[in-house]
Structure 1
Amino acid sequence: MRARTDTLYISIPATYRPTGVSDFDGNPFIEALPPMEESKNAILSRLQNYPLTPTKSELKKGEIIRAAELGRIRTLVYPFAEYQRAGMNLTLNIREAYVARNPLNPVDMQRRLAIASGDGEFAIPNNWVSTAKGQTLIGISGSGKTTFATAFSLPYQIVIEHREYKGKPLVCRQIPWVNLRMAHDATLKSLCLQFFEVVDGILGNTNFYRQARSVSGIARMSLLMAHVATVASVGVIFVDELQNLKAAKGGNAVFVLNLFSEIIERAGVTLVIAGTPALETVVSQNVRNLRKLGSGGDSHFVQMKYGDIEFNSFCETYWDYQFVAKPLKLSDDIKRAWFDASGGNPAFTALAFMLAQRNEIGGRETVDRAAFERVARYDMASLQPAIAALLSGDPAALAVFDDLLSGAEPLRSLIAWKGGTDQPTAKEEEFQELEKQEPVEERKPQRKKPAKPVIPKKEKEEAKVTLPMEIPF
């Protein structure tokens, strides 16, 4: 079965551009990436997206046509201030991942050989140190973290075909960005298998997923992930909705954190994880891994507050997309009702605006306080417990915010909510270590060089697979 990816990856020939950064220049994997922005504002400009605003002639069109045009609002990407900081961190982190993995560096050639052995018998060179980072995006559902990651990653969702660099052969393929997403109560093994499945789906001519399915232990799986990440020259693995991972909810969270540590240390891949505030509790269980997962910066996406600059600017931006026949000017009275209907959550705020217009088109043809009050009372009634938690600002209420959303099934797709009742399409298996449900002790800090994994003899035999040094075109 091939993975479904949100975006179609296209293959492009490598074009090498000097970056002006001493650590980056001379590294074909970095020079072949899309050009870096020159300023933080340029990052925001790339992330934002403003569809065409309705014209006077469009406001004269029929009711159904105008109601259908409301879908245009879904493509609007408002550039929150946090996008600037998170975007700069990610711009650097995706490149930092490749600094120690320069394919022209003899030390990294030794590392690649060690990983290609597939059984851990060859040690990674002592003088090879990963430069990959860990980055976290934390926020309640609808706060904009997934929208940010999607907008940022678009230029990087490509396959770069290398043939030669400065007159010397360099035949390999490079995947700068891999997207993974956790369904509700997904297993750690399903997360790993999803990685192979997605890579197969991107490349189209590999069978890593089939080979990985026979692996039943975490140590062997981490080796296979490091191998595939190396031969596919993966830069970033983005894991969304990580709080849904079943193993992360109990005493086995340390297995999850240790696996992520291996991805950063051994594979040299930058790991970006996104989730709700519940994820912070999991990550903080292990100080060593907490340091690694935050080495590339933490970003917190918070709800907007009534009267602040961001909320006013957000409302003014969306207000330009009125498809009612009698649009009004945005007043404080309207903004107050709008905020009360949404709690300052970006996704709820956009949803309330769309629903208010859908109700009024063909009726009063105007969006005002009454329109938002009607939306809150009827259209978004199932969201009211969650909105009440937002309006209260009570940490205890916000801690169960996603649980409150689980009862809003009719609106989940509209707010792009990915928690709650998403179910795997097939029975999810788990690693042997986790199925035993034995107490887990935190792994002690080790030396800087990644340690050689200990793989049980039985697991070596059952999962002996042969993987290529390079991926065929």
Structure 2
Amino acid sequence: MLDKKEIIKNLTILPSFDEAERDLEGGIRLHIIQRLYKLFQPLPIHIDIWNMVISLMYQGYIARNPLDKNYKRFIHDTGKQIINRTYDLNNRTDFRTTASSGVIIGFSGMGKTTTINRILGCIPQVIAHNSYQNHHFNHIQLTHLTLQTPHNSSLKALSLQFFMKVDEILGTNNYKKYVSRNLSVDAMLPLMGMVAHNIGLGLLVIDEIQHLQNRGVNQMMNYFVTLMNSFGVPVVFIGTPASYSLFQNEFRIARRVTGNGEILWNNMDNRDTFRFFIQSIWKYQWNRNFTSLNEEIIQLFYEETQGISDLVIKLFVNAQRLSISSEREELTLDVIKKTVKENFKLMKPMLDALRSGNPYRINQYEDLRKNEVFKVKEQSGLDIESKLIRKGEESKVSPQDALEVQRFQRAVNKKKFNLAVDDIRRSFFEGKSKGVPIYQILKDEGFIDDMNMWEGTGI
């Protein structure tokens, strides 16, 4: 349980640096620059993720006190039923879970996985208990485990990965003991839950959740809901914006995530956070001539990276490499621009889409979709997301929520909202008021492609 200052201290990783190293041979300095890839500068969003992870872990343990008689009886009875193959996942009334889930959805390159690994790295993964409050207590606890979502959405592959990773960390033989070639997924899930109980698993992290394919989404989500409800294991999902629709479409997961831990991580705006980030790394220059940070450089860095932290570091590293190898030994605007031209070729279409601010162009790249949930808060204090207005969604909300949705719709029709300039709804309202066809408005603003360019090509 740490305060903000202690959290920042625990997360910070600063590379080794000595100004005297600027006088070393160029070949040596080219290797030294690689230290920058180890840098971890905590930002406000990292504090939010820390608090989410710790909260989920602590809350998940509340109902799983290994010294509680009722819980010990539940573990014993569950294990016996699983062994005898009489365990029923759908009929569990003797265990009330306190586990929940969290989700981190953000741009590629913002450091989602790195941040989670850094936070979990501050927590001992394995704890060997000998005693508790002067009582004998012999237990090995696994506080967290990270799994990668299989590319083919295979539940069996995920289950096998679970057993293998637990065995790798603890030196156990669960895979050999429980897994057989003909064992079904339905049979594996209770075994996973039993192992999770036995090792006191505090948190399960599922990374790259966007790999879930349509045919495997519902089955996989049911899998995670069961893991939380029946065995009390909190789950954190990590994915790119391509995975956001998975949670919107699965109401049970969305309900659990909302209010417990939902981090939507877009690229940084050219404001305080981005400027703080670039200022924090700028002193790590191994060019012979130190270049002071100025407004022109800040603007150029943002223009060429669009506030994606991984690209900021890569541009900073490669610009230094170019200045050293070319013997210029100074970070100039020309060096930075040349670095972008030589090293960011593959990313140019994506970065151009971000610079345009055109949602149509941005949405062509699933990893770059901005997660901007449009909400309205009525006097009742209830938040209604605009996605609830979609046709067919009314059946999933209560009558009171449906009434709030109707109020939301009336408010939209009356144009009570201050919509952003690039908001497609603004185009709709303006076109309607001017009598201009909506199609023409959307075409003029770049939301619709002009297909005339393909005429005569034979395509």
Inter-partner Cα distance in structure 1 for 2:223 and 2:254: 13
Question: Quick one: higher RCO (CA 8 Å, sep 6+), 1 or 2?
Answer: 1
Q: Following the alignment from structure 2 to structure 1, what is the Cα–Cα distance between the partners of residues 132 and 286? A: 53
The answer to whether structure 1 residue 264 and structure 2 residue 228 are counterparts is yes
Report Cα offsets for 1:364-409 as digits up to 9, x if no partner. 11112112211211111111112222223333444343579xxxxx
Alignment match of 1:128 (pick from 89, 92, 95)? 95
Do the aligned residues in 1 keep the contact of 2:126 with 2:143 (CA within 8 Å)? yes
1:288-307 matched pairs, under 5 angstroms: 288-294=252-258, 296-306=260-270
Alignment length (residue pairs): 366
Q: Which amino acid aligns with 1:63?
A: G
Aligned counterpart for 2:206 among listed residues 239, 259, 277: 239
Residue 284 of structure 1 aligns with which residue? 248
TM-score for the superposition, normalised by structure 1: 0.73
Contact kept? 1:114, 1:120, Cα under 8 Å: no
- What is aligned with 1:386? 350
Change (3 A) 1:132 1:215: farther
| Distance in 2, Cα, partners of 1:330 & 1:250 | 47
Pairing partner for 1:349 from 312, 315, 322: 312
Find the residue that maps to 2:232 and give its secondary structure: coil
Identity %: 26
Asked if the contact 1:135–1:295 (Cα under 8 Å) also holds between the matched residues in 2, the reply is: no
Deviation at 1:213, TM superposition (A): 4.7
Identify the residue that residue 4 of structure 1 maps to in structure 2. none
Query: 1:408-462 deviations in whole A, cap 9, x for unaligned?
Result: xxxxxxxxxxxxxxxxxxxxxxxxxxxxxxxxxxxx9xxxxxxxxxxxxxxxxxx
Paired letter, 2:47: Q
Secondary structure at the aligned position of 1:164 is classed as strand
What whole-Å deviation, never above 9, does each CA across 1:325-363 have from its counterpart, x for those lacking one?
111101111112212221211111111111111111132
Distance across 2 between alignment mates of 1:195 and 1:356: 42
What is the CA RMSD across the aligned residues, in angstroms?
A: 2.4
Within 2, Cα distance between the matches of 1:41 and 1:398?
A: 37
Q: Does 1:162 align with 2:126?
A: no
Q: Are 2:324 and 1:358 aligned?
A: no
Helix, strand or coil for the counterpart of 1:339? helix
Q: CA, structure 1 residues 369+183, in 2 after alignment: closer, same or farther (shift >3 Å)? A: farther
Contact 1:235 1:269 in 2 (8 A): yes
Structure 1's 253 and 216: CA in aligned 2 closer, same or farther, altered over 3 A? Answer: farther
Give the CA deviation at 1:120.
4.1
Structure 1 pair 319/271, CA: closer, same or farther in 2 (3 Å)?
same
Of the candidates 278, 293, 299, which is equivalent to residue 336 of structure 1? 299
Q: Per the alignment, in what secondary structure is the counterpart of residue 139 of structure 2?
A: strand
Counterpart amino acid of 2:257?
L
Q: What amino acid maps onto 1:175 in structure 2? A: L
Q: Aligned-pair distance for 1:60?
A: 0.3
Give the Cα–Cα distance (whole angstroms) in 2 for the partners of residues 374 and 130 of structure 1. 56
- Tell me, what secondary structure is at the counterpart of 2:206? strand
Query: Runs of 4 or more off by more than 6 Å in structure 1?
Result: 122-125
Decide which structure has the larger Cα Rg and report it: 2
Equivalent position of 1:217 in the other structure:
184
Listed one character per residue, the Cα deviations across residues 23-82 of structure 1 (whole Å, up to 9, x for unaligned) are xxxxxxxxxxxxx21x233223321222233x2311000001111111110111121211
More helix by share: 2
Where in structure 2 are there 5+ consecutive unaligned residues?
Answer: 369-395, 397-459
Change (3 A) 1:121 1:210: closer
Q: Are 1:202 and 2:169 counterparts?
A: yes
Aligned residues of 1:178 and 1:238 also touching (Cα < 8 A): yes
Matches within 5 A, 1:395-414: 395-401=359-365
Counterpart selection for 1:313 from 276, 279, 282: 276
Instruction: Give the aligned residue type for 1:174.
Output: Q
Aligned pair 1:61/2:63, yes or no?
A: no
Contact 2:95–2:230 (8 Å) recurs in 1: no
Contact persistence 2:203–2:233 (CA under 8 A):
yes
Distance (whole Å) between structure 2 residues aligned to residue 305 and residue 71 of structure 1: 26
- Residue 327 of structure 1 aligns to a residue whose secondary structure is coil
Separation in structure 1 between the aligned mates of residue 193 and residue 182 of structure 2, nearest angstrom: 14
